[in-house]
Amino acid sequence: MPPFDREGALKSADKALKQGRIDVAIAEYVKVVEAQPRDWNSANALGDLYVRANQLDIGLTQYTRIADHLATEGFYPKAAALFKKIIKLKPEDEYSLLQLADLATKQGTLADAKKLLQTVAELRNKRGDKKGAAEISVRLGTLDPEDLDARLRAAKAAADMGDKATALRELRDVAARLEKKDKAAEALEVWQAAFDIDQSDEEARARLLAACVAAGAPDRARQVARGAAELKQIAQAYEKAGKADAVLEVLGEVAALDPSDLDVRAGLALAYVSRGDLARARAYLSAETAGDHPSLWLTLAEIELLGGRTDEGRAAVVQALKLDRDQAQNAVAAGCRLAESNSEAGYQFIDAVADAALAEGDYAAAAVGLHEFTIRVPSHLVALMRLVEICVDGGLESTMYEAQAQLADAYLASGRGLEARIISEDLVAREPWNRANLDRFRRALVMLGESDPDAITADRLSGDSPFLATDKLDLNEGVSFDPAPPPAPPKAAPAAEAAAKKKKEKGAEPPAGSIELDLADALAALEAPPTPPPPTAPPPRSLDQVFRGLRDEAGRQSSEEGAAEQYQLALTYQEMGMIEDAFKALELASQSPRQRFDAASMLGRLYLDRKDTVHAIEWLERAAEAPSPTPDAGRSLLYDLAQTLEGAGESARALAVFVELESESGGFKDVAGRIDRLSKVQARG
C-alpha cells in the first residue's frame, strides 16, 4: 500500500475551501489527522473548519485533544491558548475552565486560577450542583498555601462533603502555620475545628490540648485531656492562671486515675492541710504519702489521734520531729490547738516533743511545750506531773513552783486531797507568807476531813512540826552507806549555831540560807523572855519584820533563779522561732543584774535583726552599763553599739564609744580607722 500523501490532501483541502466547499475540506483534513494523529497543526485546522461549519462541539473536541496533549508534554502556554480559544467559543465549558485554572497554577498566576475556579463554582451553584461547588471551594482553598482563610473555607467545604481526609489535612497545616506565626489563639480554634470533625483523630486531640495550654485556656484543655500525664499539664495551667480550686480538682482526678502517684497525693494532702481541710487531706494522706514531709506527718498524727489511734498518732509526731527538729514549735502549736477539743490527743503531741528535747538534754525546750499546754489545760494531771518532773531534773525552779501550784489546784479540783496536801506543804515551806499556798494547804486539810485545819496550819508554821521545823531528827546518825568511807572530817558546828555566830560577827540581817533556820530563830525569839539588848545591838525584830526579811531574801533568790531561767527559756524560744516570746523572756531576765548584760545585749541584737534601730540602741546601751562576763564580750558589745549609732547617723555618740573602746583595748578590729573617719566627719560638721 502506497504511503499517505499528506501534502496532496492538504492541497486538496485548500482548493476546496477556495471553492467554498467546506465539507470537502473537512474530509481531506480528517484523512490527514487519522493518518497522522500527532499532526497538531492539521488537527487545529480541522477544528477551525468544524467551527466554521457550525459543528462547534466536534471542533471543540479537536481543540481539547490538542490542548490536553500540549499540557501533558509541558507546553503550558500553548495548551492555555487552546483552552482560552475554547472558552471564547463556549464560555461555560467547565472542563476548559478547570484546565486553564490548573495551567495558571502551574505557571504561578494564582489570581487567574482563582478567577477561573470561581467561575466554575458559580456555574455549578447556578445549576444547583452544591456538591460540585463545594469541590471547587476545596480547590480554591488549597490553591494558595499562604491564603489561610481560603484554606479554612476549603476545609469546611471538604468536611461538608464528608471528605474528612482533605479537611483534616488542610486544618492541620493551617494550624501549624498559625503557630509558627505566634498566633496561638487562632491556631487553637483551627485545632478545635479539626477535633470537632473527627474526635478519634489522636493527633488533632493532642495538638488541641497543647494549643489550649499554650493559649492559657485550661478549661478547654480539660475537656480533651486524657490520662494522668495530660491532666497534670492542665493542673499546671490552672496554677499559672491562679485557679487553686481547679488545680486541686484536676489533681484529684489524677490521684483517682493513678493511686500509686505518691507525689500527687502528697501535694494534695499538703494543699488541703494548708487550707485547714483535714477531712479532704485524710483522703490522700498515709504513711507512704507523708514520706519525707514533716508537716504531713504532723497532720497525719492529728488525724490519727482524733480518730483514737494513739500509738499511730504519737509515732507520726516522733517521725515528724525525726525528719525536722525545728518542727517542735509546730507540734506544740498543734497539740495546744487540738487540746481545745481533745486534751488527751493534744497531750500526745506535747509529750513527744518533750521526749525529743530530753533526748538532746534540752530541759528548757521540754518544759516550754508542757508549760504552754498546761496554760490551756490547767487541770491535766499527767502533763503537770511531767512538767514538774522535768523542772526538777533540769533545775528550772521558778517554772517548777508554778507547775506545782497548778498541780495542787488540779488535785484539789479532782478531789485528791492527799496529793494536794503533800504539794501544798512543799509550797508553804518555800513561801510561808504566800496566802495562795496557805489556802491550798487548808483546802487539802478540809478535803481530808481534818477537824481543825487552822490549828494544823499554825502548828506547821510554828516550826515544831514537819515542813518548817529546824530540829531535824537524824535517824541515820553514825551509819554510813559508803563501802569505804574516808576519814571523818572535823565536826562542823550545827547550822543554827553557825548562822547565829555569823550573824553576831557581822551584826547584820541573816544571810541567804535556810528558810527553816530563819523562821525557827524568829519563833524562838518571840517565845523567849525579853532581855534588854546591849547598847550597840539592834532592837529585836517583830514577827512581821522576820517574815518580811524571809520574803525579801527568798525573793532575791527567786528573782535570780527566775532571771536565769528566763534567759535560758529565751534561748530556747529563739531557737524554736518564737521571737515574741523570746523578747518577753529577755526583758524579764534583764531585770536581774547578773543576767542584764547577756539579756540586754541579746535583745539589742534581736532588734537589730528587725531593723528597729531605736530599740536596738536602747538595749545595747543598757547592756554596756552592766558588767560583761568577759573582756571580749564587752568589747564586742561596745563595737556593735558604736556601729549601730554610726548607722543611725549619730556620729558624735558613735565616735565617743569608739574612743572609749580604743582606750580600753587598742587595736580592736578597725576601731582606729573608724575613729579617724568619724573625727573628720565631726571636723567638717
Q: How does pLDDT run across 223-274, given as a tens digit for each residue?
A: 778 778 888 888 888 888 888 888 888 888 888 878 878 788 788 887 887 7
Considering only CA atoms, which of 160, 161, 216, 224 is closest in space to residue 191?
224
Buried b / exposed e across 273-303, counting CB within 10 Å, b at 16+?
beeeebebbbebbeeebbeebbbbbbbbbbb
pLDDT average, residue stretch 622-636: 88
Question: pLDDT confidence of 489, banded at 50, 70, 90?
Answer: low
Whether the per-residue pLDDT at 93 is higher than 50: the answer is: yes
Whether the per-residue pLDDT at 154 is higher than 80: the answer is: no
Q: Are the C-beta atoms of 150 and 143 separated by less than 8 Å?
A: yes
pLDDT average, residue stretch 431-439: 87
- Looking at residue 258, what DSSP letter applies? -
Position of cell 573608724?
674
Report helix, strand or coil for 222. Answer: helix
Tens of pLDDT, residues 557-593: 556 767 887 888 788 778 767 788 889 889 988 988 8
Q: What is the pLDDT of residue 260?
A: 75
pLDDT average, residue stretch 617-625: 91
Question: pLDDT confidence of 471, banded at 50, 70, 90?
Answer: low
Whether the per-residue pLDDT at 411 is higher than 90: the answer is: yes
Residue 117: how many other CB atoms lie within 10 Å: 24
What predicted TM-score, i.e. pTM, was given to this entire model? 0.45
Position of cell 523578747?
583
Q: What is the pLDDT of residue 474?
A: 58
**Which is more confident, 684 or 450?**
450
Q: Are the C-beta atoms of 597 and 629 separated by less than 8 Å?
A: yes
Side-chain half-sphere exposure of 471, counting CA atoms within 13 A: 7
Question: pLDDT confidence of 484, banded at 50, 70, 90?
Answer: low
Phi-psi map region of 109: left, alpha, beta (phi>0 left; psi -120 to 50 alpha): beta
**Long-range contacts formed by 430-436: CB under 8 A, 24+ apart:** 430/401, 430/515, 430/554, 431/551, 431/554, 432/461, 432/468, 432/515, 432/519, 432/547, 432/550, 433/547, 433/550, 433/551, 436/405
**Which is more confident, 482 or 136?**
136
**79-88, 126-135, 183-192, 547-556 — most confident range:** 79-88
Considering only CA atoms, which of 87, 34, 96, 93 is closest in space to residue 67?
96
Query: How much is the mean pLDDT over the chain?
Result: 81
Tens of pLDDT, residues 162-200: 777 777 877 888 888 888 888 878 888 888 888 888 777
Q: What is the pLDDT of residue 385?
A: 93
Q: What is the pLDDT of residue 475?
A: 61
Question: pLDDT confidence of 487, banded at 50, 70, 90?
Answer: low
pLDDT average, residue stretch 526-548: 46
Domains located in the chain, CATH noted = 582-684 (1.25.40.10)
